[in-house]
Structure 1
C-alpha cells in the first residue's frame, strides 16, 4: 500500500487549455518528484471532479494529502471542498484525509508577482516608476476575505517598489474593473501601465483580459501598456507545493479555513449557504465574535 497520495485540486476552467495546463503542471511536478504519487482533479468544469478525484486518490493509499491548487480561498475552498472531503472520509474510513491550505497570498506568491512586475518593467524599457502605474488584476470574488488577500499583495508591491500608483482591479464579480483602474491612472498622469494578472493558468478570463488591453491601447494611444501573463509554471509555485508536502502542515487531517468549522456545519445544516457566495466574511458566514475565531476566517454571524 502506498503511504500517501497527493491530490492536487484545481478550480477548473471553461476553457480546455486551462485544465490542460493544470494537468501538464502535475506531470512536470511528477518529473521533479518521481517518488511521489500525484493525482489531479477539479472543483468544476472538468471530467474528473472532486468526488471521483478523492476516490481515485484513496485507492491503495493509507493517506491522501489534498492540496487546493487555488490562489484565494472563497466559497469553493471554504464550503465545497470540506464537504467533499467529509463525504470521502465516510466512503473510505481506512484512509486518512489531510488537507493543506490553498496557495494563499503570502511571501512565496508575492515573490512571483514581483518577478512578473520586474519583467514588465524591462519590457517597458525601465521607465520612471513615478510615471508608471501598476495594476494587480485578480479574478474577483464576492468573498471579501479573498479580495482582501489580493489587496494585501497590492500593498506589498507598493511598499517594495517606487511606483506612485499600485492599484487593484478585478475581471468580474466585484469592482473596480480594469478599465476603471486604467482611467484613474491616466487621469493621474501615468504614461505607462503595467498590468499583472494574478492567475495560475490560462482560460476564458485570460483571453478576456487580452481583449480588454487591446481596446485600452486604442482608447489611450498616448499610454504604453505592458501585460503580464499567468504564472502557474513559475519555479516558485513548484517550491511552494514542495514545502506544503514536506511540512504536511496541518495536524489531525484538518485544513485552515473551514474544514471542520462549526459555523460551516451550522450553515450547511440550516441550508444557509448558496453558490452566490455573497456573504462579506472571509468564510462567508456571519457571527458577532469574529475577533475571537481561532480559525483565522472572518466568520461574522448576524
Structure 2
C-alpha cells in the first residue's frame, strides 16, 4: 500500500520549449487530484529542473521508498540507461531508501484507444470521412534504438488492424526514416485524397511545433489533399490510468519482463563503448561496478542469468545538441 512515507517520482523527458515542461507539471497536479493520498514529485531527464539526479536524490533523502515512473512512451537510451544509472547513484547516496523503477508506458491497448479516439475525431472533421481514401500517418520521435522504433511500428499496425483505413503508415520527426514528407508523397501517389497526421507525443514542445509547421507546408505543396493534424495526448484519462497502474504494480511487487534484460544489455554495450553516464552527476560516491536496476520484483545487484538478446543499438545521433550518449534524445 502506498504510504505517506513513499514518494512517487514522475520522470519526464524535458523540453527546450518551456510550455512542454509546464504541461508535465500540470499533469502531476492533475494526478495529485486523482490520488490525493500520494506524494507525487517531478523531475526531468534534460532541459528542465529539477534534473533526474537532483529529483532522485531529493526524493530518496526524504522518503522511505521511491517509486520511479517514467512518463515516456518509448524506451531507448533515456529509459534503458540514464534512468537506471541515476537510480544507482541515488542508491549509493541513500542506501536506507528503497528505490523501485516502473516500466515506461510502451505500446499497449490504452494508448491504442487514445489513438483510435483521436483518429475518429479527425475523420469527423474532414469533408469526406471515407477511410478508404484517407491515409493515416502515425508520426513519432525517431530513435537510434530499433526497439523503440519497433514499438511505434507495432502501434501503427494495431491502428490499421483495429479500423477500416486501408493505409496506415509510420513516419518519424528525426534520427530515422521515413520522414513525414516522404510518406505523404507516397500516400498521394497511391490515390489518397485526405491524410490524417497523428503525432505520437504526450506533450508539446519544439517537435510538436515543427510538426504543425510541416503540415502547413504540406497543405501548400499538395493543394489537392485535405490534411488534419491532431494534437499531443498526455492528458487523456488512459495516461493517468496507466501511470496509476504502474505505481500499483510496483507497490505490489509485480514483475515486468519488458525492461530488465534489455536494459542491462543496452547498458553493457554502452559501457563497453565508453558511454556510461547520464547528463548530470550529483551523486556523492564513486562506483566501480555495474548494478543492474530492474523494475519491481527483481532485486538490484549483479545477476547471473545469461543475456541471449540481440541488440544492435546505433550510436549515431541526428539531434541538435551534443553529448556522448548512445540514445535518441531530441527536444520534446
Q: What range describes the TM-score normalised by the shorter chain of this pair?
A: 0.7 to 0.9
In the TM superposition, what is the alpha-carbon distance from 1:254 to its structure 2 partner? 8.6
1:208 — aligned with what? 210
2:25 — aligned with what? 23
Greater share of residues in helix:
1
Hey, what's the Cα distance between the residues in 2 that align with 1:134 and 1:265?
Answer: 35
Instruction: State the TM-score, normalized to the length of structure 2.
Output: 0.80
Hey, what's the Cα distance between the residues in 1 that align with 2:171 and 2:41?
Answer: 33
SS, match of residue 5 in structure 2? strand
Change (3 A) 1:8 1:226: same
Hey, what's the Cα distance between the residues in 2 that align with 1:134 and 1:67?
Answer: 31
In the TM superposition, what is the alpha-carbon distance from 1:228 to its structure 2 partner? 0.5
Is 1:87 the counterpart of 2:99? The answer is no
SS, match of residue 56 in structure 2? helix
Change (3 A) 1:249 1:112: farther
Q: In the alignment, which of 311, 320, 325 is matched to residue 299 of structure 1? A: 311
In the TM superposition, what is the alpha-carbon distance from 1:61 to its structure 2 partner? 1.0
Map 1:70-219; keep pairs closer than 5 Å. Answer: 70-125=72-127, 127-219=129-221
Instruction: State the TM-score, normalized to the length of structure 1.
Output: 0.87
Residue 100 of structure 1 contacts residue 255 of structure 1 at CA under 8 Å; is this kept in 2? no
The structure showing larger relative contact order (alpha-carbon pairs under 8 Å, at least 6 residues apart) is 2
Summarize deviations over 1:69-126 as a string: whole Å, max 9, x none: 1000011111111110011000110100001000111111111111111111111145
In structure 1, stretches of 5+ residues that fail to align are: 276-291
Q: Which moved more, 1:108-117 or 1:123-132?
A: 123-132
Map 1:218-297; keep pairs closer than 5 Å. Answer: 218-248=220-250, 251=253, 256-258=258-260, 262-264=264-266, 266-267=268-269, 269-273=271-275, 293=307
Q: Which moved more, 1:150-159 or 1:54-63?
A: 54-63
SS, match of residue 96 in structure 2? coil
Residue 105 of structure 1 contacts residue 150 of structure 1 at CA under 8 Å; is this kept in 2? yes
Q: How many residues align?
A: 283
Residue 146 of structure 2 contacts residue 312 of structure 2 at CA under 8 Å; is this kept in 1? no
1:279 — aligned with what? none
RMSD: 2.4
Hey, what's the Cα distance between the residues in 2 that align with 1:80 and 1:216?
Answer: 37
Residue 58 of structure 1 contacts residue 95 of structure 1 at CA under 8 Å; is this kept in 2? yes
SS, match of residue 248 in structure 1? helix
